[in-house]
Amino acid sequence: MAEGGNRTLTWLGGARGHLFQVVVLGLVPAVFLGTLAIIIQLAESLSLQAAGSQVETLARMAAAIHDRGLESSREALAALATDPEDDECGSHYRHFLLAVEGHYGFLRTDPSGRAGCSIAQGTDISWLTKGPQIGRAMETGAFATGPYVQLEDGRVALPMAYPILDWLGTPRGVVATARSLDHLAKAVAPPILPDGARLLVLKSDGTVLARVPALSGDAPAITPVPELREAAARGRGGSFTAIAITGETSVFGVAPLGRMAPETMVAVTMPVEMLGGSERQFLRMAVTAFGIAGSGAVLLLWYSSRRLLFQPLGRLAGAMRRVRAGDMAARAGGGIGEVGEMGDTFDTMVGALNEREARLTESEDRFRATFEQAAVGMCHTTLDRRFIRINSRFAEMLGCAPQELIGRSASDFTHPDDRKLGLDGIDHIIQGTRESNSIEKRYLRKDGTIVWANLTVSALRRDGQVEYIIGVAEDISWRKRAEDELRAAKEQAESASRAKSDFLAGMSHELRTPLNAIIGFAETMYSQVLGPMPERYREYAGDISASGRHLLGIITDILDLAKIEAGRMELDDRPMEIAPVVDVALRLLRDRGAAAGLNLISDLPPGLPQVMADERRIRQVVINLLANAVKFTPFGGRVTVSASLTPDGGLELHVSDTGIGMTEEEAAQVIEPFVQVDARIARRHEGTGLGLPMVAAIMEMHGGAIAIASQPDAGTRVTVTFPPRRIFAVTATGR
**Angstrom distance (rounded) from CA 139 to CA 161:** 12
**Angstrom distance (rounded) from CA 560 to CA 462:** 70
Give the CA-trace dihedral at 241, 243, 247, 252, to 10 degrees.
-50
**Angstrom distance (rounded) from CA 197 to CA 185:** 13
C-alpha neighbours within 13 Å on the C-beta side of residue 33: 5
Contact status, residue 343 vs residue 355, Cβ threshold 8 Å: no
**Angstrom distance (rounded) from CA 608 to CA 643:** 8
- Among the listed residues 641, 620, 625, 631, the one whose alpha carbon sits nearest the alpha carbon of residue 598: 631
Phi and psi angles of residue 198, each rounded to the nearest 5 degrees, phi first: -140, 140
CA distances from 423 to 279, 435, 657 (A): 85, 14, 62
**What would the DSSP string read from start to end of 501-560?**
HHHHHHTHHHHHHHHHHHHHHHHHHHHTTTS---HHHHHHHHHHHHHHHHHHHHHHHHHH
pLDDT in tens, 662-686: 887 787 777 766 555 554 443 444 5
Q: Which amino acid is at 13?
A: G
Is there a cis peptide before residue 575, judged by omega within 30 degrees of 0? no
User: How does DSSP classify residue 224?
Assistant: -
How many CB atoms are located within 10 Å of the residue 250 CB?
26
Phi and psi angles of residue 386, each rounded to the nearest 5 degrees, phi first: -100, 140
**Angstrom distance (rounded) from CA 689 to CA 694:** 9
Q: Extract the residue ranges of the chain whose pLDDT is less than 50.
A: 1, 8-15, 18, 25, 679-685, 731-735
The pLDDT assigned to 21 comes to: 52
Cβ neighbours of residue 275 closer than 8 Å, sequence gap 6 or more: 47, 48, 50, 51, 54, 251
How many CB atoms are located within 10 Å of the residue 665 CB?
8
Angle between helices 28-81 and 182-192 (to 10 degrees): 140
Nearest 5 degrees, angle CA 299-CA 300-CA 301? Answer: 90
Phi and psi angles of residue 353, each rounded to the nearest 5 degrees, phi first: -65, -40
- The gap from C-alpha 648 to its chain's centroid, in whole angstroms, comes to 38
- Quote the longest CA-to-CA distance of the chain: 163
User: How does DSSP classify residue 258?
Assistant: -
How many CB atoms are located within 10 Å of the residue 506 CB?
14
Phi and psi angles of residue 267, each rounded to the nearest 5 degrees, phi first: -130, 145
3-state SS string for 646-689: CCCCCEEEEEEECCCCCCHHHHHHCCCCCCCCCHHHCCCCCCCC
The pLDDT assigned to 312 comes to: 72
Contacts 24+ apart (CB under 8 A), 339-348: 339/308, 339/309, 339/312, 339/313, 340/308, 340/312, 342/312, 342/316, 343/312, 343/315, 343/316, 343/319, 346/316, 346/319, 346/320, 347/319
**Strand 115-120 relative to strand 156-165, pairing:** unpaired
How many CB atoms are located within 10 Å of the residue 202 CB?
24
**Angstrom distance (rounded) from CA 109 to CA 87:** 12
* Burial track 328-340 (b if 16+ CB lie within 10 A, e otherwise): eebbbeebeeebb
**What would the DSSP string read from start to end of 57-106?**
HHHHHHHHHHHHHHHHHHHHHHHHHTSPP-TT--HHHHHHHHHSTTEEEE
Q: What is the rounded radius of gyration, in angstroms, for the C-alpha atoms of the chain? A: 58
- Among the listed residues 561, 573, 524, 562, the one whose alpha carbon sits nearest the alpha carbon of residue 544: 524
Q: Name the helix (H) or strand (E) containing 12.
A: helix 2-13
- Among the listed residues 242, 220, 221, the one whose alpha carbon sits nearest the alpha carbon of residue 231: 242
Q: Name the helix (H) or strand (E) containing 445.
A: none
**Angstrom distance (rounded) from CA 722 to CA 703:** 7
pLDDT in tens, 34-72: 666 676 666 666 666 777 787 888 888 888 888 888 888
**Angstrom distance (rounded) from CA 332 to CA 350:** 10
